[in-house]
Structure 1
Amino acid sequence: MSVRWLRNTILYVVLGVGAFVSVFPYLMVVFTSFKTGRQLNSTSPWLPAIPGTLGNYTKLFNGSIANIAFPSYLWHTVLLTAILTAGQLVFTTLAAYAFARMRFPGRELLFWAYVATLMVPNVVTMIPLYLIMRQIGWVDTWMGLVAPYVFGSPYGIFLMRQFFQTLPRDLEDAARIDGAGVWATLTRVILPLSKPILGTLSILTVVFAWHNFLWPLIITSGDDTKVVTVGIASLQGNLGADYNLMMAGSFVALVPLIVVFLLFQRSIVRSVALSGLK
């Protein structure tokens, strides 16, 4: 009993230290966001502000910062996340079902060639994508912002295809015997059984879209299309960075994901398990 107790104690201590190391940067974001410039320079960054101030948040939302429309950036991020999530669910599902169930020449070759693009870093395709968007006039537009991601992704299609292949074909055969076509089979038989993987894809897409920074930074320049990640980076001016405002903006951007995690803890844990699906 003593050996087991000691082993469990060591395990929980290690887990506790790991959890603290993971959470500590977020605590520093919160502490810094409630500090004034004088407090930031006079206190340790890992100590909370005493007394704290809401002045940084007030500046973000009352429009007192020149050339920064932070509430608009938040709305743009919400809209971008909704568009990308809806697009991923629709187009990824259709493509994955075609690769998993339909027979056509070159299906396997086309699928694995598409999945092989996962090995190409995103930064490699940024300049070609930007040049394409400039040629068709989509720079600094919503079309240019969403076009590279709204029609599906290699990882999402791979994930959905692998899940579809685990479903019994007998269900589809029975639906066809009853007179159901491809669309009816997909919507009435396959999709109701695919809620876990659809939830996984939704969560992964929401997190990606909310945190996406490099492509919005490249393709957008005006306030009409700027998202919150680029808006936070804009708080760093030529005369230096206002870390108090940046941390306040970072915490505001972090709150929606914290809410999503608290509301969908079980789905997120399940999504982590399903994302390792063979």
Structure 2
Amino acid sequence: MLQEAVKTSKPVFQARRPRQKQRSIAGSMLAALIHVLLIIGAIIMAGPFIWMAVTSLKEDSQAFQDPLSLLPNPIVWQNYPASLQAMPFGQAYWNSFYIAIVVVACELITTAMAGYAFARIRFPGRNIVFVLFLATMMIPFQLTIIPRFLIMQRLGWLDNHLALIVPAALFDAFGVFLMRQFILGIPKELEEAAIIDGASRWQIFWHVILPLLKPPMAALGIFTFLGQWNSFFVPLIMLSSPDLYTVPLLLNQFREQYTSQWALMMAGSMIAVLPVLLVYVLGQRQIIQGIALTGLKS
């Protein structure tokens, strides 16, 4: 009986093997198709950047020649020094850099403190306040620019970098949400052990919680730096002196003065985008991790 059962079971196993091979082949073909589509999408997305980089090394006559040549001939490296000499990019670089650094440093502290308060400190109306806090993310910031302008005017901060630094450093609903979600995943036993050792609330936050917030703080710091470096609308409203211009404002002025010189414009655009590109390349792991952290338990 056992031998007959083994004989009858052989065709079943033999029939399963071709099906498994077919499934593996179909899975490999699907994965290859997905990769091809992703590569095509990446090339399409990188197309404008590639065109900008190539055009920055061309002569003006080559920018729109027909048929359009992909590679510059000859390569005009002089476009970059000419762009730096045409506009005070050095001052604009410094303005954008120090504004972004100050905002990042202050925002990381304020969002970490607020996130810890919403995650661990029980106070009346905590959940309601948190929901209202998050609701501000649904309001376009263009709607708040007039009240913000009036407040800055009353404070005497118009045409001053404080109008860009203080509001951004003290309020970031997304940052508070990110910190709160991460802190909720930290075991409470760590804080209870610190309380037994006699630690105060501030000591718990500074010595226990804050060192564990490095992943979300790194991601938020990169997001904030990129946002501040690329900010155009708010500096356009608040600043009027060319010496205080950030890189996007100076690049806009560069476009107005050198409309017909496309090679210089593309070189100036490359100079403006290089820091952002460098930050993204070096911090892409933190950026992806920051996006994933927003899905932690609530």
Range with greater deviation from structure 2 (181-190 or 51-60): 51-60
**Any idea what SS the aligned residue of 1:175 has?**
helix
Range with greater deviation from structure 2 (208-217 or 237-246): 237-246
**Any idea what SS the aligned residue of 1:42 has?**
coil
2:124 is equivalent to residue 101 of structure 1:
no
Amino acid at match of 2:64: N
Alpha-carbon distance in 1 for matches of 2:183, 2:135: 20
What does residue range 223-262 of structure 1 map to in structure 2 within 5 Å? 223-237=242-256, 240=259, 242-262=261-281
Amino acid at match of 1:16: I
Q: Please say if residues 28 and 46 of structure 1, whose CA atoms lie closer than 8 Å, have aligned partners that are also in contact.
A: no
What does residue range 169-180 of structure 1 map to in structure 2 within 5 Å? 169-180=188-199
Residues 4/112 of structure 1: CA separation in 2 closer, same or farther (3 Å cut): closer
Alpha-carbon distance in 1 for matches of 2:277, 2:248: 16
2:155 is equivalent to residue 136 of structure 1:
yes
Q: What whole-Å deviation, never above 9, does each CA across 1:144-197 have from its counterpart, x for those lacking one?
A: 121220113011111111211121212111101101001110111111222111
**Any idea what SS the aligned residue of 1:98 has?**
helix
Alpha-carbon distance in 2 for matches of 1:45, 1:93: 51
2:203 is equivalent to residue 184 of structure 1:
yes
2:65 maps to which residue?
Answer: 42
2:46 is equivalent to residue 23 of structure 1:
yes
Q: Please say if residues 77 and 228 of structure 1, whose CA atoms lie closer than 8 Å, have aligned partners that are also in contact.
A: yes
Range with greater deviation from structure 2 (9-18 or 41-50): 41-50
1:58 maps to which residue?
Answer: 81
Alpha-carbon distance in 2 for matches of 1:167, 1:45: 57
2:136 is equivalent to residue 117 of structure 1:
yes
2:5 maps to which residue?
Answer: none
Residues 46/217 of structure 1: CA separation in 2 closer, same or farther (3 Å cut): farther
2:219 maps to which residue?
Answer: 200
Q: RMSD of the TM alignment (CA)? A: 1.9
1:86 maps to which residue?
Answer: 105
Residues 222/174 of structure 1: CA separation in 2 closer, same or farther (3 Å cut): same
Q: What whole-Å deviation, never above 9, does each CA across 1:187-241 have from its counterpart, x for those lacking one?
A: 1111122211111111111111111111011111212321101111111227845
Alpha-carbon distance in 2 for matches of 1:239, 1:84: 32
Amino acid at match of 2:41: G
Alpha-carbon distance in 2 for matches of 1:92, 1:114: 12
Residues 263/238 of structure 1: CA separation in 2 closer, same or farther (3 Å cut): closer
Question: 5+ unaligned residues in a row in structure 2: which ranges?
Answer: 1-23
- Per the normalisation by structure 1, the TM-score is 0.91
Question: 5+ unaligned residues in a row in structure 1: which ranges?
Answer: none
Residues 173/243 of structure 1: CA separation in 2 closer, same or farther (3 Å cut): same
Q: Please say if residues 223 and 287 of structure 2, whose CA atoms lie closer than 8 Å, have aligned partners that are also in contact.
A: no
Alpha-carbon distance in 2 for matches of 1:136, 1:75: 25
> How far is the alpha carbon of 1:2 from its aligned partner?
4.5
Q: Give the structure with higher Rg (CA).
A: 2
1:69 maps to which residue?
Answer: 88
> How far is the alpha carbon of 1:261 from its aligned partner?
3.0
Q: Please say if residues 200 and 275 of structure 1, whose CA atoms lie closer than 8 Å, have aligned partners that are also in contact.
A: no
Q: Please say if residues 32 and 45 of structure 1, whose CA atoms lie closer than 8 Å, have aligned partners that are also in contact.
A: no
- Per the normalisation by structure 2, the TM-score is 0.85
Q: Which runs of 4+ in 1 moved over 6 A?
A: none
Amino acid at match of 2:205: L
Of 220, 226, 238, which aligns to 1:219? Answer: 238
2:298 is equivalent to residue 270 of structure 1:
no
